[in-house]
Structure 1
């Protein structure tokens, strides 16, 4: 399960950021992955990349040097065929309510995970939204960048569990077929925190990403990736930081 916390403001104070993004990628520890880098013949795109054969070159979070950002959050549960779209470019093939297409936004913040509907988030996202908004309010200043990064990492590493989350419970139960529980259903409580670690399945949070863009278009993209094989006694993380200026199209 993955999570996204996003703040954006097209008209920020010159001392603040116009975009702040914090995200966790939860994945199998042994899934081959390339670290964050510029790629493509023009080097205009940057992201980490999946190296697994059938999906090699794909990504979970990426952006362009022109300022476009995209993220993939897989929804766990039975498939649906509907695909409503909103003005903020949110696509969801599990949301059937065509009368409410807007992604919920609070204080210029959008917070999403793997719930079927953006309108009914998992508790970890609802609680995380409150903390994220507080972080933005207190640390959205260029001269507080180190504190901002530290607080965002604390949020992404929050191990608080919400095992009684009714949305998570309902979605986990929907994956059970003929009495056979999926790993999702069996490990619902371990998946209920923002930071996920399930060593017996070789699965958990293996990438933290933080992107900031300031008033003048200066951008920093930080990726922290868990090194594999994972040493439970001494978990090591690889840091990649790319800095660049947003280019006009």
Structure 2
């Protein structure tokens, strides 16, 4: 049950950031995974290998056109939410597509959050995380405070407070809704939970800081070792 939070600061005159995106990747601990790095066959791409995402980032299509191309395939998949952030002239264009509703939506809110629910029906932990993010970004919106900003964003992603009651989550996951109600998920008996944190900071000057903190495989779920990878990219 992955989770993503976004700060869209392009219209915030007090902020030196156009975009802050943070996420947790939740999955089974025994699933093979690699730390974030540039792809060997395409050094401009960083991250995962899922078909929908990998085909999209290697294409030159916008999100709406791409969704039309994969429509038949997406209708055969389990329910998912596809999140796209297109950065043109450092102005983020944030869109989601859900194959459950077959709809593309564009979002202009300053603070956004998405998880395993329809985008317009956020889980309680998503709402809570947006409030945490707002508090952080309203205080630490200058690049000189980047180190503290990153520390507080990591602390948010590691937050294990349970956000209950959540009737939507309970109806969908009646046996695990308590464990899944926190931003940071840890279910030792199922060998499942949050195994990677990702942070992307895009400044209004065009500089990107890309950070991933992930569990090293093979994972000792009682005493995991977290690896940190960092990349610097300039768009201008």
With structure 1 as the length reference, what TM-score do the two structures score? 0.73
> Residues of 2 paired with 1:148 and 1:236: CA distance?
23
SS in 1 for 2:127: helix
Asked if the contact 1:163–1:192 (Cα under 8 Å) also holds between the matched residues in 2, the reply is yes
Give the Cα separation in 1 of the matches to 2:15 and 2:130. Answer: 23
Task: Provide the aligned C-alpha RMSD in A.
Answer: 3.3
Shift of 1:109: 1.6
2:193 is aligned with 1:204: yes
8 Å CA contact 1:6–1:19 kept in 2: the answer is yes
SS of corresponding position for 1:195: coil
Rounded Cα–Cα distance in structure 2 between residues aligned with 1:132 and 1:159: 15
For 1:237, the equivalent position in structure 2 comes to 226
Partner of 2:26: 26
Any stretches of 5+ residues in structure 2 without a counterpart?
64-76, 85-92
Whether the 8 Å CA contact 2:124–2:164 is kept in 1: the answer is no
Residue in 2 that maps onto 1:39: 39
> What is the match of residue 134 of structure 1?
135
Distance 2:19 2:57 in 1: 12
Conserved? CA contact 1:46–1:63, under 8 Å: no
Q: What residue number does 2:95 align with? A: 89
Give the match for residue 74 of structure 2.
none
Question: Aligned equivalents of 2:44 and 2:106: distance in 1?
Answer: 29
1:3 and 1:24 in contact (8 A); partners too: yes
Aligned match of 2:156: 155
Residues 145-193 of structure 1: CA deviation (Å, up to 9, x unaligned): 11111111111111111242012123x1xxxxxxxxxxx4311110110
Q: CA separation of 1:111/1:15 partners in 2, compared to 1, >3 Å: closer, same or farther?
A: closer
Please state if 1:217 is matched with 2:223. Answer: no
CA apart distance, 1:14: 8.9
Which protein has the bigger helix share? 2
Distance 1:88 1:215, change over 3 A: closer
Q: In the TM superposition, what is the alpha-carbon distance from 1:11 to its structure 2 partner?
A: 5.2
Q: Give the deviation of 1:45 after TM superposition.
A: 1.1
- Taking the aligned partners of 1:215 and 1:101, their CA distance within structure 2 comes to 25
- Aligned residue-pair number: 210
- Kept in 1, the 8 Å contact 2:79–2:98? The answer is no
Query: CA–CA distance in 2 between the matches of 1:58 and 1:40?
Result: 19
Which range moved further: 237-246 or 4-13? 4-13
